[in-house]
Structure 1
Amino acid sequence: MRVLVSGGGVAGLTCAYWLDQAGHTPVVVERGQAGPLGGYGIDFSGTGYDIAQRMGILGRLAERPLRSDSIAYVDASGRVVGRLDRPLAEKVLRGPYLALMHTTLEAVLADAVRDRVEVRHRQSIAEVEQDNGVLVTFADGTQEEFDVLVGADGVHSRTRELAFGAESQWARHLGLTMACYPVPDIAGLTDVRTHFAEPGRQTVLYPTDNVGTSIALFLYRDSAPHHVARAERAARLRTIYTGSRWHTPELLAHAPDDDLFMDTLTQIEMPRWHVGRVALIGDACGALTLASAQGASLAMAGGYLLAEALAKHLHDHAAAFAAYEARLRPVVTRRQRRTRSLARSLVPATHAGHEFQRAIARLILRENCASLLRRGFGNTSTILPTTPVR
């Protein structure tokens, strides 16, 4: 089966790898240039960790962990008011995990398909026509036919728009916006992920896997989220964080004028993930947002399980799509629900709410509260088949 995978991120590359393993011929198109796409950190565990192990790439991932060994919550003076260290994190997650840059995972996945899968960069789909196959018109005007099309092109999926309709039908905004960019390391904060919260906004700083570079991440309440033009993002961020304390002014001074990632925290909820010969995976159909800490893991699960279903139902794409969705949808729905609940308390709007959050952090970031923490962050892997796709 010839399969077009639209999107060369975590979900798309994972899907392409396992499609190739199953004997299909995947082709990946990615509108960005060659190289990793997402410049932020992720907590990698559970299903994604298991899939990486089956791919034989865990060793390469483990070579490039973030330089942080704990998560600290601080006040304006830098005093630690709560801490989550690695042993407690592993107990909460019920297993091992890696703290990685998203770019690291993408780069290792790209290497895993190199020389086996055709990946076309700076290419995207413009039109889709379905009949006995999928006729795809690309952005450069060329046309090709495929047996099926897999949309793995993220929360703002062009594939979803073409096959299912406008994003507004499926988007659920969580009332938060985030922005992030690289900054120089700050002395004393090179081995910990640090969170500083104020009413309505939060600043996070964590070291990358490269000495000398950290990531500044900003998360703030936004009751009327809208797209902010790239040239206006740095100014908007500085306005939102006017008067902020801790190291926030220093971090804002490094905000780039032309390369600042900013987006709303938006979940995608759809009544079905496939139509005709088109199926969606990852954020394109079940975006969790970064508040879940499981987006990359479930993106890999989507790619893996769709490839498994297409291998099992070799000549029946409809049965394959239905089997994939039946396997994964309950997990995604449950995780989205948990994430919405968490997001409501992630950035308290009032001073009283902020003080309550600090008090709770002091109380529950302890080993005897692991089961309580697991309700929000646990990620046991129960959705994989017992043997790898072959």
Structure 2
Amino acid sequence: MSFLIRRNVPRAWAGWRDNFNRPAGPITPPWVHLGDGTPAIITADPFLKIPANPWSTNGGGESYQWQPFTPNFGLELDVWYPVEGLAGQTFAAYFTNSWSMIGADWRNVVGVRFLHQPASGPDKIIVNEFENLWTVKNVRAQWNSPVGGFYGQWVTLRVWVENDEWVRAWLNDIYLGSVMISPDFKLGPDRRCVRFFTACLCDVYIRSLNHYDRPASVPPKNVWANQIFADDFERTDGAVGNGWTQIGTNNGIVNGAWSLIAAADGGQGLIRDTGISTGRVRVEATVGQNPDAGGDAESGLVLCSNAAGTQGLSANIFQGHIHVAQYSSSLGDNPPTMTDRDGNGIAVQAGDTIAFSVYNSLAWIEINGVPKLYIGDANGVVPKTNTYAGLRIRCNKGKPSNPWNDVRIFTGLGS
């Protein structure tokens, strides 16, 4: 079963569903078997039965010809993976080019894998980047199965890809997490097909497959048309005033920027009540000089903070790279207690305009207007009813973080 809405790419939407409800027997296009191992069959149940192939030398397995047209797409699989024993084994779905293309290969592919490896803990879902079939370049993410071991139960894996670079995953509708794909492995046209590989000692059964274009989760930029506050800090050196709550005693305006005023160790915060309790809020600021000069002293853009500045989200610049963290102690601590929500820092430079947004529990960072890093379930760790937003800086071991040259706060449409 398939659907197609409009014909002209990239405005076309497409989707393909297969429940294997047809006569039992060998697979036929759009399914093919590639490489070594025994080809899959359609069973009378009806399921797609993919035979075990633990000793493969070239990644033999099944591939599906069709692929989504847009950079925002999903893949859903109902899987019976009766893996057991002490041996490390995986069943994987790889995003790659179509078998119908001449020269389809395994270079720089992204794989979402069911991992059974008792020596390293519970069964897991992991996201890998492969330079080639046998070379794992990066383990981007790994999550323990929230439903226990894979053996003896049907599980439903849902993977959503946003802008060909951000992966979110659910197992049995339980959110696992998200991860950014490295730039060299970013997906794209003719790199969205799915190919399966059973590097395990058991056969694997798929009851249904759904591979489809979907609307973008991240809203368009015009949702931020309502700027509710701005401050360029272009006034006399000293206390910030202007309705801000200052946390810490070693911060103020210095030469038209919000900055540390002495090289004394400690964290500093600058927050204000936005009145926005819908979880649709954005803060933008311009990075001051030397964002990597502080060594271990980080700065940040703050959202969804409580009034005390002891709970919220912060887009932290640390050693010249920005990432998203959740803080659970005072912004005045040295350092605040931080829990990273992603592991993929993005490089920033002095003069960059950084935007940190939360909208319907998604959070993302833009650098000079270009989205660079996303996380999901932001309001699952920090409540959207925290209405304060602002900035943070820090001095550590006598080295200050970068100052901030200005700041703007927006509310999202629908707030």
Q: What interval of TM-score do these two structures reach, taking the shorter chain for normalisation?
A: under 0.3
Q: Select the structure that is richer in helix.
A: 1
The structure having more radius of gyration, on CA atoms, is 2
Q: Select the structure that is richer in strand.
A: 2
Higher relative contact order (CA 8 A, sep 6+): 1
Give the TM-score taking structure 1 as reference length: 0.22
Give the TM-score taking structure 2 as reference length: 0.21
